[in-house]
Each structure stands twice: as C-alpha cells, then as structure tokens.
C-alpha cells in the first residue's frame, strides 16, 4: 500500500465496477425503501448544496441497503422551464445574434432539446463522482414521454374535477421574460422611494368639509393613474365620509370616477384617500370587485403605456363603460419614464401637492430581476383550497413528518392561507397545455386533439388551435414521486416503493415543491382501502451551504463552488476562468477574480470524494445554515489518510500471518476485549444517529472511535503483543485487528464508500466472514451486540490509560524526551492496582516508555520524585538528573490549585442543606465521591510537595 491515501486512483474505477455489476438496482428482496431525488435542472451543474443533499440521500440509501432493504434511489432531471429557456436564448444571442423568434417555436424547442442532449450528461457525471448509488437505468426527465403523459392526465382530470379553471385575472407579469409567474417566484424587496400627493378635482362643484374643490390622494405608482376607476376613503373617516358616492374628474383623461367607502383606505396612512386602479394593483383589484369598478388596463406586455386602454368589467369582459383613449404623449413610454412625465404634468397643472420620502416593498422577478407588474391576462389556475385540506391533515396527523419539526409551522402557515396557483406560463419550453380553442374562442380540454374532437363531436371542419402556453415547471415536479414510478399505470414499482420514505430537500422549496407534491400526490394516489397516499413519510430539511463569509453562494457573486473541485482540486487559473469565463459584466468579473484570489490563493487541493462526503455529513446539523469551511474539509481529508495508514498497519501485521481464521488457540488481551466493547458502543451510537437523521453525530462517533480509540490507543496497544506476545496472544490480537477493522469499514461505508471498499477488499479475506458478494456495499450492516461489552475490560483499560497519560504529562511538562526510558515507583497501591499492574506491565512500559516499575512498601519513602496520582496510588518519577526542583514545585502548585477549586465547590454544594435534602441520592453520592477523590489526591500532592520542598 502507498504511504499516502490517493483517492483519485481508486474512485472512478470502483464506481464503474459497482455500476456494471448492478449493485445500485433494487435487490427485489426485503421491504421497500425509496428516496426520490429532487430533480436538478437538466442543463445545470451541481453545486455544494446538491452535493450536501445527495451525500445524505446516498448515506441513507447505502445504510438501508446494508440493513437488507429493497432500496431504490429514483433519479432524474427537471426541464426547468424559464431557467433552461433563458440559458438557450442567451446562447443563441451570443453565438448567432438571434432571438427565439428568429427560430420560431418548433425550431427553438428543437434547439433546446439539442442543448439538453449536449449538456444533460454533465449532472449525471457529477453525481457519479459523488459516489451516489443510483440505479441509472431508471433515470427520468420531466419531459420524457411517460412523464408528459402523466402531466396531461393530471391536467385533464383536475379540469374534469373542476379544480382547474381559466380566467382573466391580475397576475404577476414579468415584462422582461413576457410571462406570468406565480406568487412564489416574486421576491419582495424593501426599497427607498417616494409617495406622491396628487390633487384630484371633485366633479359637479362638490367641496370638501374645509371648502376645497379637490381631494388629495397619495400614491407610489403615479403612472397608473391613467387606469384609475375610483377613489377609496374609509367609511369611518369623518373628513371624507360625506363624499362617498360623489365623483372625481380624473385629470389627464377627464374620466368621471366615483368615490367609494372601503376599509382598504387607512385613516392614519397617507392622506386617507387612495386611488383605485383595479387593473394594476392586487389590493385595488379586490376593492374594485367589491364596488363594481371597471378595470382599465393601460400597459402593454413590456409594461409601456398603451395608446388605447383596454376597459373590462369586473368579470373580465370587454366593456364600453369608459372611453379607451389615453393621452398620446405617453403612448409607448416605459412605465418609469411615464411616471416622471406624469408627475411633471401634475406639477405643471398645479395638482402636485407634495412628494414625501417613502419606504416601500417592490416585487421583483426571481429570474429576470426586473420589477414585476400586476397585469390583466388570461391564465390557467389550480383551485387549491380543496387539495390543501388533506395535505394539511396529513402533516397534522403525523403521516408526514418534517425534520426538524419547526418547519411544519412554516408549512401550516402557508397552506392555511394558500392562494390559487397560476400554472400557465407564456414560454415555449415545457408541457404545452392540453387545451384547444375553436374559432369562437370556446375552450376544450383533452388528452389529444383527436380526443377533444371525439368527445365533443367536432368534425374535421372545425378549426382547433392548441393553447400556446406551457405549464409551470413545478406542475410536473409536483407529480415526481409517483410519475417516475409509472403512474398512471398501476405498476409493481408503485406498489413496492410508494409512498417513498424520505424527501431530502432545502427549506427554500417547501412551498414551491414539497407542499404541491403533497397536494397532488394525495389527490391522485389511493391505497387499496381508498385512502389518500402521501408522497413521502418524512421530509428532512437541510440548511443552505453558504460560503466562508456566511454569504449565500450565487453565480453573480462568483462564490459558487463546484463539488468536483473539492474532490479533484483545481488551480487558481482554472478556477478564475471557471468563475469569470463567460461573464456578461466585466466589472463584476474583476470583483469576483479579486475575491477568488483572496479566498483560494493557491487554488484548491484535491481532497477526494470520501473526505468531501464525510465533511458534509459532519456539518449536517439540523435547522441551521452552514458556512463552508475549507479547514474542516482538510481535517477530514487527513482523517481519510489516517484510516488508510491505520489499515496499512493492520495489513502489514496480519497479511501472511495467522489471524485465527482457521481456528487455533486465542488469548485476548485487555486491549482486545476493550476495543471490541468500544466498537459496539460506536455501532449503537451510529445507528441512533442515522435513524434520527443526525449525520453530524454519526460522523463524530466514527471519527472519535477511529482516531481517538482505535488509532491512538488500540493500535499502540497491539504493538507489545505483536512484537513480544506468545502465539495465542498474537493470534488473538491479529484476529481482533482484522475483525474490528472489517466491521468498522462496514460501519463507515454509507458515508465513505470508496476508501472503505478499497481497504475492505484486502481485509475481508483475513477474517472468518463468509462473503457471497464481492463488495462491501452488499454486506450486512454491523448490529449492536450487548454481549460484546466487557465492563471490567473497559474500567481496567481506563486505568491503564490514566497511568500512561500521567507519565506523559510529566514528560511533557518537564521537557523529558519521549525517547528517554524512565524508572517509576508506585506508592499506596491497592490490590486492584497491583492486579492491573501485573496484567498490563508490557502495555505500560511500551506506551509510557518505562525502564522499570517498582512497587514501594507502605513504609518506604522512595526517591525524590515528580508525582502523579491515580486514585489513591501515587506514581513517582525520580527527579535525579532529570527534573528541576522549582519546576516540579510549580507544576505541583498548579495541579493543587485546580484541585482546591474543585474541592471548595463540591464542599459548598454538600454543605448546602437544600442540596442534600432535595437532590437525588445518585447525584449526592457522585458529589461525595468526587470530593473524596479530590481531597485524597490533594493530600498526596501536598505531602509530595512538602518532601520536595525539604530537599
């Protein structure tokens, strides 16, 4: 074996061999265990967040597989409508200077498919490098034939159940991407802005109470005044309530609009008068409906002012309630330019009362980054209220459990106030809505055009045109757990693997995806008793991986990390190229380059997949974001090397030796019995940790056992046996070495698949394990066995450790070379001490590097010595020629000071009547014991100090 662990040499070959042998497929035996992956964007690439979640999923899958479950990790990718379309649009713009309209719909979609074929493999390659044990033969894509069929089926059935409708509604319109988006895709940001106060003249000579012929409305959107169809005041407002029912003559358009009384107008806020623009504001839209105010649309798809307005009644039907003419000077003007123009027009007319600074919330599109415009358009909606009920109940009843639990509150809060879901998108890339219109505009929904014709008796002469829109990507994602398993067919897979067991995902898509999955799945899937089936039993919500400074990783910030760079390493030059390569803005590129140079001055070293996975497990504490820390990764890379070298030691001492595989007398040492017990404890801890999704605790237990118990103590303790023991002792120790290591590798395997497999291949032939399949991943997982705990061995070995540590401490403090063998005298030793000493002399001599150990009689004083105390026994190291008197006095004083503090505190506690009368007996006994120990130790040290001081 190499002296240093070199992951790059083993990883890919191992993965291919696992994949070829079909180890990732369900075995068909045992209970089903299934995880559906949150499908990444097909044209994207994995970031650290994916690596994090996938490590957790793979760990669970490997753990369950080794527990004998019939495991399936269902994978696939998402077509990601807007995101993918944007990528390809940008690509053709950059490479061919074309827009999608130059291509036309069909050609453009072909282009995207082409791009998907080209780049779609990227994600799969990355996922393989992470070691994910995925059955690739079942990989799905949200737009493949089967899934498209499922989407159609769901749409049609929902429509038939009256859970989908079409209507002219106010939607969040993205003026850059020219599509509607759902509430969730809108990001509200706080901005500093202005509040304009406009004078609106009263019609028909009406005057206010204080004799004015106008009222003042306050608005943050002056340009929308062209679409005003009313002014609202609070019906309780004494200043204005007399004006309710009177009219305003709207400036610039000379439109006569009513003053209405509505609670929406807040007496305290602004001027108390609010202009109502039902076609361009969600609140105003509600007010308009309540008071039957027409809706006047004044904006086009680019959010520029129209030449002629569109007037609708509250049902969304065209109406002639108002003249459609708009002032020509604003026609074609962008909304923000129009704002300026209209404000100055009001000023010119003497109608601008004042401008106030104002903090407001502005909606932005999460993809385009432009201000979202509420716009009246025809869209398709899912009526979610009926679907939400069972979905809420499933979580309330514990059929679905969130981990950590606090996310359930977030889920409930949103679900209980859920709005209808706008599912149509004015894009080309996606599932085209299965609806057709005849020439009169009548809509027919069906699986295909033929279906529609047949069902509605439309003959060939009727011209039908399919709806141009596609469905929100999340519509197909919502079907993910069951559509990937073959729905709407009643498949074996559905029977075996649905509901799935765990969903591992980020909190940021609980609303987008998790909630909608629950609703859709429960509506379409019933078990044999007709009970609604949930998509998954548990939702494990991970935190976000942030960068070193705690900032969110994003492409525009340039702080995104490719997990493969952590695995394989990358030079600074390549990293810079990767991060700033095709940036649109050179200025941003400069900034990113600077940051990158600072963070990774030497680029990134290779760490290997196992180290990355172990790190991700170790930081996976729940309910909290994670700041990425390279130091952690380095530390765990070192850990993999430690495992490698420990194994190297084991193999060097066991291969081609008798390890007791074929019988023969075995005499287990104290260390052997101890490490077996320690390992069992670790097995127990790891099981509990995995079963409760505490991957951090599992990693910690594995790390602690491997490094601090197995390597630091056990391997050292095997040396005296292997070098000097008799045949039966050596055989026993070799046997213990290989069996514990072999089991430890299995225990670690779910987190670190590669290194464990590599070493396991060499270790397992040395053990008496009967292996029918030649891979660690197909073996059984270690189970806790209480019978292997040897309490006496544990306490005896603790005594050995204290002894060794005491000597090492004196060595360290007194600067005595580790290579210098020391004579030791023991004073005040008990029968137990003597027994332990006699049984473990070789251990003590080897680990503490002792020249001799001599037990003093009760009346013997011994030489002037540095002293350590173990229980009631003193360990003496003669000072002659080695230790300075003053130094030893100082060391003793320090030790005594610490003890005195302990003694004082404990005494205080025990002399407190309340404590003694109320605390449990066990606690009191413990305190008493602690006090006795400290006092006796203190006395011993004091005596020793006196002796030395007298020299």
Partner RNA sequence: GGACGAUUAGCUCAGUUGGGAGAGCAUCGCCCUUACAAGGCGAGGGUCACUGGUUCGAGCCCAGUAUCGUCCA
Residue 629 in the binding site for RNA (CB under 7 A): yes
Residue 83 in the binding site for RNA (CB under 7 A): no
Cβ-in-10-Å burial (0-12, 13-18, 19+) of 527 comes to exposed
**Structure tokens belonging to residue 184:** 């969730």
**Is the peptide bond between 404 and the residue preceding it cis, with omega within 30 degrees of 0?**
yes
Residue 631 in the binding site for RNA (CB under 7 A): yes
Contacts of 11 (CB under 8 A, 6+ apart): 129, 131, 567, 608, 609, 754
Q: How far is the CB of 918 from RNA (least distance, A)?
A: 4
Q: How far is the CB of 627 from RNA (least distance, A)?
A: 4
Within a 13 Å sphere around the CA of 244, how many CA atoms are in the beta-carbon half? 17
**Residue in 170, 225, 514, 697 binding RNA, rule: CB under 7 A:** 697
Which window, 24-32, 91-99, 292-300, 915-923, contacts RNA (CB under 7 A)? Answer: 915-923
**Beta-carbon neighbour count of residue 169 at 10 Å?**
18
Q: Name residues contacting RNA, limited to 412-441 (CB under 7 A).
A: 413-414
Q: Name residues contacting RNA, limited to 30-69 (CB under 7 A).
A: none
Q: Is 175 in contact with 373 (CB distance < 8 Å)?
A: yes
**Beta-carbon neighbour count of residue 136 at 10 Å?**
13
Beta bridge mates, 256: 249
Q: Is 556 in contact with 588 (CB distance < 8 Å)?
A: yes
**Is the peptide bond between 156 and the residue preceding it cis, with omega within 30 degrees of 0?**
no
Q: How far is the CB of 712 from RNA (least distance, A)?
A: 4
Identify how many contiguous H helices and E strands the chain contains and give both numbers.
31, 31
- Cα distance from N-terminal residue to C-terminal residue, the chain: 55
Helix (H) or strand (E) holding 76: strand 76-77
Which window, 22-30, 211-219, 467-475, 616-624, contacts RNA (CB under 7 A)? Answer: 616-624
Q: Is 87 in contact with 112 (CB distance < 8 Å)?
A: no
How far apart CA 326 and CA 329 sit, in angstroms, is 9
How far apart CA 717 and CA 724 sit, in angstroms, is 12
The DSSP symbol for 532 reads B
How far apart CA 20 and CA 9 sit, in angstroms, is 18
**Residue in 645, 681, 928, 936 binding RNA, rule: CB under 7 A:** 645
Find tokens 């964007």 and name the residue.
Answer: 41
Residue 911 in the binding site for RNA (CB under 7 A): no
Q: How far is the CB of 523 from RNA (least distance, A)?
A: 23
**Structure tokens belonging to residue 782:** 């270690």
Which window, 208-216, 457-465, 690-698, 740-748, contacts RNA (CB under 7 A)? Answer: 690-698
Residue 914 in the binding site for RNA (CB under 7 A): yes
Measured from the CB atom, is 139 or 933 closer to RNA? 933
Measured from the CB atom, is 118 or 798 closer to RNA? 798
Q: How far is the CB of 56 from RNA (least distance, A)?
A: 15
Measured from the CB atom, is 54 or 641 closer to RNA? 641
How far apart CA 755 and CA 5 sit, in angstroms, is 9
Q: Name residues contacting RNA, limited to 493-512 (CB under 7 A).
A: 507-508, 511
How far apart CA 757 and CA 749 sit, in angstroms, is 7
Residue 784 in the binding site for RNA (CB under 7 A): no
Q: Name residues contacting RNA, limited to 701-730 (CB under 7 A).
A: 703, 707-708, 711-712, 715-716, 719
Q: How many residues are given for the chain? A: 951
Residue 863 in the binding site for RNA (CB under 7 A): no
Measured from the CB atom, is 47 or 79 closer to RNA? 47
Nearest C-alpha neighbor of 402 from the set 393, 411, 391: 411
- The greatest distance separating any two alpha carbons of the chain, rounded to the nearest whole angstrom, comes to 120
Residue 694 in the binding site for RNA (CB under 7 A): yes
**Residue in 9, 16, 99, 188 binding RNA, rule: CB under 7 A:** 188
Measured from the CB atom, is 23 or 915 closer to RNA? 915
**Residue in 923, 932, 939, 949 binding RNA, rule: CB under 7 A:** 923
Residue 774 in the binding site for RNA (CB under 7 A): no
Residue 3 in the binding site for RNA (CB under 7 A): yes
Q: Are strands 140-141 and 76-77 parallel, antiparallel or unpaired?
A: parallel
How far apart CA 202 and CA 806 sit, in angstroms, is 95
Contacts of 384 (CB under 8 A, 6+ apart): 418, 419, 420, 421, 519
How far apart CA 838 and CA 857 sit, in angstroms, is 16
Q: Is 579 in contact with 590 (CB distance < 8 Å)?
A: no
Which window, 240-248, 497-505, 515-523, 619-627, contacts RNA (CB under 7 A)? Answer: 619-627
The DSSP symbol for 318 reads B
Q: How far is the CB of 259 from RNA (least distance, A)?
A: 25
Residue 890 in the binding site for RNA (CB under 7 A): no
Q: Name residues contacting RNA, limited to 119-158 (CB under 7 A).
A: none
Nearest C-alpha neighbor of 427 from the set 120, 117, 176: 176
Q: How far is the CB of 226 from RNA (least distance, A)?
A: 26
Inter-CA distances, 127 with 55, 62, 131, Å: 10, 15, 7
**Beta-carbon neighbour count of residue 551 at 10 Å?**
12
**Residue in 453, 642, 661, 684 binding RNA, rule: CB under 7 A:** 642
Residue 786 in the binding site for RNA (CB under 7 A): no
Measured from the CB atom, is 4 or 137 closer to RNA? 4
Q: Are strands 626-627 and 70-74 parallel, antiparallel or unpaired?
A: unpaired
Residue 9 in the binding site for RNA (CB under 7 A): no
Which window, 154-162, 223-231, 570-578, 646-654, contacts RNA (CB under 7 A)? Answer: 646-654
Residue 908 in the binding site for RNA (CB under 7 A): no
Residue 162 region by backbone torsions, left for phi larger than 0, else alpha for psi between -120 and 50, else beta: left
Residue 634 in the binding site for RNA (CB under 7 A): yes
Q: How far is the CB of 539 from RNA (least distance, A)?
A: 15
Residue 264 in the binding site for RNA (CB under 7 A): no
Q: How far is the CB of 241 from RNA (least distance, A)?
A: 26
Q: Is 168 in contact with 312 (CB distance < 8 Å)?
A: yes
Find tokens 């055009």 and name the residue.
Answer: 449
Q: How far is the CB of 502 from RNA (least distance, A)?
A: 18
Q: Name residues contacting RNA, limited to 392-411 (CB under 7 A).
A: 406, 409-410
Which window, 475-483, 498-506, 638-646, 742-750, contacts RNA (CB under 7 A)? Answer: 638-646
**Residue in 101, 528, 602, 817 binding RNA, rule: CB under 7 A:** 817
Residue 623 in the binding site for RNA (CB under 7 A): yes
**Residue in 252, 919, 931, 942 binding RNA, rule: CB under 7 A:** 919
Q: Is 465 in contact with 422 (CB distance < 8 Å)?
A: no
DSSP string, 270-310: TTSEEEE-TTT-HHHHHHHHHHT--EEEEE-TTSBEEEEEE
Residue 197 in the binding site for RNA (CB under 7 A): no
Which window, 71-79, 481-489, 665-673, 694-702, contacts RNA (CB under 7 A)? Answer: 694-702
Q: Name residues contacting RNA, limited to 314-373 (CB under 7 A).
A: 361
Which window, 481-489, 574-582, 620-628, 854-862, contacts RNA (CB under 7 A)? Answer: 620-628
Which strands, in side-by-side order, build the sheet including 186-201?
Answer: 214-219, 186-201, 352-365
Q: Name residues contacting RNA, limited to 549-578 (CB under 7 A).
A: 550
Q: What is the total count of residues that contact RNA (CB under 7 A)?
A: 72
**Residue in 50, 111, 637, 673 binding RNA, rule: CB under 7 A:** 637
Q: How far is the CB of 604 from RNA (least distance, A)?
A: 13
Measured from the CB atom, is 719 or 907 closer to RNA? 719
Which window, 92-100, 132-140, 630-638, 669-677, contacts RNA (CB under 7 A)? Answer: 630-638
**Residue in 638, 681, 709, 842 binding RNA, rule: CB under 7 A:** 638
Measured from the CB atom, is 301 or 684 closer to RNA? 684
**Residue in 176, 358, 657, 930 binding RNA, rule: CB under 7 A:** 930
């Amino acid at each position: 074996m190499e002296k240093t662990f070199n992951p790059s040499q083993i990883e890919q070959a191992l993965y291919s061999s696992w994949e070829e042998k079909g180890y990732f497929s369900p075995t068909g035996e045992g209970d089903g265990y299934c995880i559906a992956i949150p499908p990444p964007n097909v044209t994207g690439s994995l970031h650290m967040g994916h690596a994090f979640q996938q490590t957790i999923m793979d760990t669970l899958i490997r753990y369950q597989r080794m527990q004998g479950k019939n495991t399936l990790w269902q994978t696939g990718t998402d077509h990601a409508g807007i995101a993918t379309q944007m990528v390809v649009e940008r690509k053709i713009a950059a490479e061919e200077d074309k827009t999608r309209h130059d291509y036309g719909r069909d050609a453009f979609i072909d282009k995207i498919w082409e791009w998907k074929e080209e780049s779609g493999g990227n994600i799969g390659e990355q996922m393989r490098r992470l070691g994910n044990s995925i059955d690739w033969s079942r990989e799905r894509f949200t737009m493949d034939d089967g899934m498209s069929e499922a989407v159609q089926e769901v749409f049609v059935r929902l429509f038939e159940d009256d859970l989908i409708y079409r209507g002219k509604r106010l939607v969040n319109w993205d003026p850059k991407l020219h599509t509607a988006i759902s509430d969730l895709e809108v990001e509200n940001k706080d901005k500093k802005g202005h509040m304009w106060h406009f004078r609106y003249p009263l019609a028909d000579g009406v005057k206010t109470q204080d004799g004015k012929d106008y009222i003042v409305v306050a608005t943050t959107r002056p340009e929308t005044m062209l679409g005003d169809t009313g002014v609202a005041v609070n019906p309780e407002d004494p200043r204005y309530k007399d004006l309710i029912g009177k009219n305003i003559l709207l400036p610039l358009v000379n439109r006569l609009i009513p003053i209405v009384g509505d609670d929406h107008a807040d007496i305290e806020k602004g001027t108390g008068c609010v202009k109502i623009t039902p076609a361009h504001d969600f609140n105003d839209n509600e007010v308009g409906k309540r008071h039957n105010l027409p809706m006047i649309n004044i904006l086009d798809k680019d959010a520029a002012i129209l030449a002629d307005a569109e007037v609708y009644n509250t049902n969304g039907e065209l109406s002639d309630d108002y003249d459609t003419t708009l002032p020509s000077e604003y026609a074609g003007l962008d909304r923000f330019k129009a704002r300026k123009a209209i404000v100055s027009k009001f000023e010119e007319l003497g109608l601008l009362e004042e401008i106030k600074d104002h903090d407001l919330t502005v909606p932005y599109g999460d993809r385009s980054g432009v201000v979202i415009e509420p716009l009246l358009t025809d869209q398709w909606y899912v009526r979610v209220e009926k679907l939400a009920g069972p979905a809420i109940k499933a979580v309330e009843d514990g059929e679905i459990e969130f981990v950590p639990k606090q996310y359930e509150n977030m889920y409930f809060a949103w679900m209980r106030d859920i709005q209808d879901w706008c599912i149509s998108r004015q894009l080309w890339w996606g599932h085209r809505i299965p609806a057709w219109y005849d020439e009169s505009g009548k809509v027919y929904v069906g699986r295909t055009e033929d279906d529609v014709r047949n069902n509605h008796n439309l003959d060939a002469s009727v011209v039908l045109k399919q709806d141009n829109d596609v469905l929100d990507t999340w519509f197909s994602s919502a079907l993910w757990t069951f559509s990937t398993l073959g729905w709407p067919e009643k498949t074996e897979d559905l029977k075996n693997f649905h509901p799935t067991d765990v969903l591992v995902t980020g909190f940021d898509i609980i609303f987008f995806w998790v909630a909608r999955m629950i609703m859709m799945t429960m509506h379409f899937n019933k078990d044999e008793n007709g009970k609604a089936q949930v998509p998954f039993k548990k939702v494990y919500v991970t935190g976000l991986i942030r960068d070193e400074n705690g900032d969110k990783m994003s492409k525009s910030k340039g702080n995104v990390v490719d997990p493969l760079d952590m695995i394989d390493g990358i030079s600074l030059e390549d990293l810079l190229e990767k991060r700033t390569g095709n940036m649109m803005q050179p200025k941003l590129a400069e900034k990113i380059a600077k940051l990158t140079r600072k963070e990774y001055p030497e680029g990134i070293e290779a760490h290997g997949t196992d180290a990355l996975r172990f790190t991700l497990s170790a930081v996976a504490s729940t309910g909290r974001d994670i700041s990425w820390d390279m130091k952690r990764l380095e530390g765990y890379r070192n850990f993999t090397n430690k495992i490698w070298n420990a194994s190297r030691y084991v193999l060097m001492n066991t291969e081609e030796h008798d390890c007791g595989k074929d019988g023969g007398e075995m005499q287990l040492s104290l260390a052997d019995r101890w490490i077996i017990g320690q390992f069992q404890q670790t097995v127990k801890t790891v099981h509990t940790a995995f079963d409760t999704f505490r991957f951090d605790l599992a990693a910690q237990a594995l790390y602690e056992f491997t490094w601090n118990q197995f390597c630091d103590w056990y391997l050292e303790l095997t040396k005296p046996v292997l070098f000097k023991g008799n045949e039966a002792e050596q055989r026993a120790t070799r046997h213990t070495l290989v069996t514990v290591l072999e089991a430890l590798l299995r225990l670690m395997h779910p987190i670190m698949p590669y290194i464990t497999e590599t070493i396991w291949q060499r270790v397992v032939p040395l053990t008496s394990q009967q292996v029918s399949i030649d891979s660690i991943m197909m073996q059984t997982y270690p189970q806790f066995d209480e019978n292997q705990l040897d309490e006496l061995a544990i306490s005896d070995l603790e005594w050995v450790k204290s002894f060794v540590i005491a000597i090492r401490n004196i060595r360290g403090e007194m600067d005595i070379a580790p290579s210098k063998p020391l004579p030791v005298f023991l004073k005040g030793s008990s029968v137990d001490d003597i027994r332990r000493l006699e049984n473990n002399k070789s251990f003590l001599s080897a680990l503490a590097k002792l020249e001799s150990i001599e037990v003093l009689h009760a009346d013997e004083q011994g030489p002037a010595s540095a002293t350590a105390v173990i229980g009631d026994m003193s360990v003496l190291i003669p000072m002659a020629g080695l230790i300075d008197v003053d130094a030893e006095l100082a060391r003793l004083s320090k030790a005594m000071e610490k003890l005195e503090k302990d003694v004082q505190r404990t005494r205080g506690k025990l002399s407190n009547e309340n404590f003694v009368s109320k605390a449990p007996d066990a606690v009191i006994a413990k305190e008493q014991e602690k006090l006795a120990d400290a006092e006796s130790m203190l006395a011993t040290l004091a005596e020793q100090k006196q002796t030395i001081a007298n020299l």
